Structure 1
């Protein structure tokens, strides 16, 4: 199994970075994982803003040479892991800009005659590991689970990925937030997964 980790946090002293380390450590102990690649969007200085004009049209995004290496990573991966904080009830703009540009029509999905598209990333699976300052129940109940709906239905299912796992950790700036226990949980998950 090939695993691609897309890490989106500007601070390598953050708890998100600690989760990244646990993903790597767990994966290294897992005989089912052949190879792991990490894409650090901030370190790569990824440009998240979409730009269109007469020469660069939205319908041609799947051919954009600047995104070719990212598309190749997605094609290569069996499991795609996203690690990010939840800001304003959603992933950072950096990650959303990456999704906008890389998961393009005719690469990640295509429209046929019906209303719904055909997902072109079938067979792949996804994991989202997210942290937030507030309690875990806040986005689930007060925001009607908007974050998970956005990622699961708006991205993964739309592109054909049906197997999705969420680790959504709240109260992460609280001294009593059980950070060590949650880091161990992620480590153990990646130590054992087989698909």
Structure 2
């Protein structure tokens, strides 16, 4: 299995970075994971802004040379892991900008007759590891599960990725947030994952 980890948090002395380290450590100890690549969007200085003009047209996003290496990473990966905080009930703008640019027509999906497009990223799987200040059930009870609906149904299912697993960790700024236990849970998951 080839795995691409996309890390979206601006601080390397954070809990999110600790989750990244546990993903890397567990994956490196897993014989099922043959190759691992990490993309740190902040360290990469990824520009999340969409620009459309006479030279840069929306219909040509799938051939944009500025994002070619990122498309190649997604094509290469069997499994995509996203590590990010949930801010205002959704992923950070940096990650959403990455998604806007990379999951484009004729790369991630193809329009066809009917209600839904043809997903072009079939066979891949995704794991979302997210943290939030609020309680773990906040997105479900207060926001009608908007985060999972956005990521799974509006994005990944749309492009053909049906296998999506979520780790939503709440109360992460609380001394009673069980951070160490949750970090170990992620480490063991990636150490033992087989697909």
TM-score using structure 1 length:
0.99
Residue 142 (1) aligns with residue 130 (2): no
C-alpha distance in structure 2 between counterparts of 1:51 and 1:72, whole Å: 21
Q: Once the two structures are superposed, what CA deviation does each residue of 1:24-55 show, in whole Å capped at 9, x if it has no partner?
A: 00001100000100000000110001000122
Equivalence for 2:98: 98
Structure 1 ranges of 4+ moved more than 3 A? none
Equivalence for 1:34: 34
Residue 8 (1) aligns with residue 8 (2): yes
Equivalence for 1:189: 189
Q: CA shift at 1:113, angstroms?
A: 1.1
Structure 2 unaligned regions, length at least 5: none
Number of residue pairs aligned between Structure 1 and Structure 2: 195
Q: CA shift at 1:161, angstroms?
A: 0.4
Residues 1-195 of structure 1: pairs in structure 2 closer than 5 A: 1-195=1-195
Give the 3-state SS of the residue equivalent to 1:121 in structure 2. coil
Q: CA shift at 1:183, angstroms?
A: 0.4
C-alpha distance in structure 2 between counterparts of 1:40 and 1:168, whole Å: 20
Give the 3-state SS of the residue equivalent to 1:168 in structure 2. strand
Q: CA shift at 1:56, angstroms?
A: 1.1
Q: Once the two structures are superposed, what CA deviation does each residue of 1:69-119 show, in whole Å capped at 9, x if it has no partner?
A: 000000000000000000000000000000000111000000111110010
Structure 1 unaligned regions, length at least 5: none
